[in-house]
Amino acid sequence: MKGKITRWLMAISSFAFVADPGNASESRYEEATFAGGCFWCIEAAFDKTDGVKEAISGYTGGHKENPTYEEVSTGKTGHLEAVRVIYDSSKISYEKLLDIFWQQIDPTDNTGQFVDKGSQYRTVIFYHNDEQKRIAEESKRLLESSGRFDRPIVTEIRPAAPFYRAEEYHQDYYEKNASRYEFYRSRSGRDQYRSPCAAGTCPIPGREKKPEEGRSDERELKARLTPLQYHVVREQGTERPFENEYWDNKREGIYVDVVSGEVLFSSRDKFDSVTGWPSFTRPLEPENIIERKDTSHGMVRIEARSRKGNSHLGHVFNDGPPPTGLRYCMNSAALRFIPREDLRKEGYGEYEKYFLSTEEAPQPRHPFRKGSS
């Protein structure tokens, strides 16, 4: 019984932040909830729409109460990144909100959205009442019957569930971290795919350019990167030791993926491995790095790739120093260094805390990993 009461209270508390959208007696304010991949992008699409009072990034649809971003990012909580829209129904209709939603997503992708792959990035329309359910189902039927898609529309329509507001740094991210948001978005594949996709009028996939597997447009990427950078991140190349940009860099700051801008390493975890490549004992953001077996060149190694950028970064070895015993041996060409003093200007202000005194600075998150097999 106690567990049921706790869940009921959590549901009420997660809902409470929308209970007074200026004036609780103004019944014209209604709620709509959409999951469409990265909530930064979905929030930005709704936030400036006339008739929308507020768009809030959060997590919903799962089983974990009060989840954190790190927990949702594992894909194990059942939650999706979503946006709850508080709107004035006298100014904008639910049908119009659906039209805006369809324009932001690829409704045929059940693995995520664009560079963001995983169950937490799938697309779902969460309805709050029977009327919203009816309108959403009709909208989806129009798309399915239009013949505009050569694959099934997999966007789900589900009843609204407890909604947990995301951490404050995620709210209005497109405004508070404009440069970083634009860097991510321009390389996410979302804008390359986006089209006027009002119900029944979506273009046929393939008739407009769509990035392969949701990745950044390769021709644009090849033009933006140097030949060496492209060779490393897309062709699994390796730069020459002792003749690369960061192997001997001793400045304080962070290292991000040269393709996507996602945070990878901190200078505080960098060490001289005497190999001629930048080496780190651990990632600053472990969830941004994918490790997988690499059997190329007659060897068995662990390759490190960035999650969003899908960039080849380097390899991970078991011959590093304490506290992890690991050596993340990276290619400078796959990285971009952001000095400590430029973090806020570059849109990475939340990482300034890692360069406080040793006693004050938080420790990077590092998941337990058995060996390197």
Phi, psi at 235, each rounded to 5°: -115, 15
38, 41, 197, 202: the catalytic one is: 38
d(CA 281, CA 318): 10
Q: Which of 41, 197, 202, 329 is catalytic?
A: 329
Alpha-carbon distance of 328 to 198, in angstroms, equals 46
Spatial CA neighbour of 194 closest among 122, 125, 114, 136? 114
CA pair distance 13, 105, nearest whole angstrom: 30
Buried b / exposed e over 11-29, threshold 16 CB at 10 Å, is: eeebeebbeebeeeeeeeb
For residue 323, is the peptide bond before it cis, meaning its omega torsion is within 30 degrees of 0?
Answer: yes
- Count of positions (residues) in the chain: 373
CA distances from 58 to 61, 64, 83, 237 (A): 11, 13, 6, 38
Backbone angles phi, psi at 252, to 5 degrees: -85, 140
Strands 156-159 and 123-127: parallel
**Distance between CA atoms of 121 and 144, rounded to whole angstroms?**
21
Query: What are the angstrom distances between the C-alpha of 154 and each of 50, 143, 203, 217?
Result: 29, 11, 16, 24
Residue 329 annotated as catalytic: yes
Torsion of CA 44, 48, 50, 53, to 10 degrees: 80
Q: Is-contact 255 313, C-beta < 8 A?
A: no
38 is catalytic: yes
- Give the residue numbers annotated as catalytic, written as ranges: 38, 329
